[in-house]
Structure 1
């Protein structure tokens, strides 16, 4: 994990698909969403110019610190996560699927860190980020953005890099 810090992010326009699934269905859902989004970009003659992302909503950051590993394991089967998968775009596109929509990731200040390794361990980096924010008396918004800077099709799990962003409340 890299240094935890606060950064300013500009507004980002994106083509996205919203989903609401359990953690165990996320890999397949995200893969299908990214493939559908890439096909839409191609159909619109738009290049993929920035890495894909996922934006998670309704996150209870303090529960991440207080829940036992057993409770967290149980929730991985039962809790549904509301998230959007998407690609940043230069201009508005015509969605090729009813599930797609143009969205805006808001400009603002974010706590950020680079997670290195398996997606299954990203929670460890989030926990460190929340502890850091608490120590700095920084309130966090109940969402996050993960920017996937490595391609999991060609990168070993232990070498994957994911830039994590949590907006300030």
Structure 2
């Protein structure tokens, strides 16, 4: 991995906000960020590398708590749009969308929240890149500590859900 600090990574993410990275191929517009997220491997296809970098970015965003992850999804344009919205949002519209998660205007989000969220995402990416852990799944945190690898995608339940009563006990209302 190219040795990069969180400040530089935050700067690269801020530049990526301008155009968004809705598709993995959008990372081709940000070659410096792509070089950090997914180093070139011998004989590896360029698009596979792009997909690997995009998946790292998406899973890092997903590992943050809501509403922070929701705001970053809106900024990076990786958030699914509600029905009836047009597909392409500019940065101002995406900031407005991110601000809705904190009940603030887009400009207020830019001035007071964006840098903090960017640094948090940069820190998560840096931690994943340094530890070389499995980067295709979000890391769930419970009470400030990571869950064991076996519990990353399946939530723990204290007891199984009770099944519904048998159909023979059904009584129609009169």
Going by fraction, where is strand more abundant, 1 or 2?
A: 1
Q: Which has the higher contact order (CA 8 A, sep 6+)?
A: 1
TM-score normalised according to structure 2 size: 0.30
TM-score normalised according to structure 1 size: 0.30
Going by fraction, where is helix more abundant, 1 or 2?
A: 2
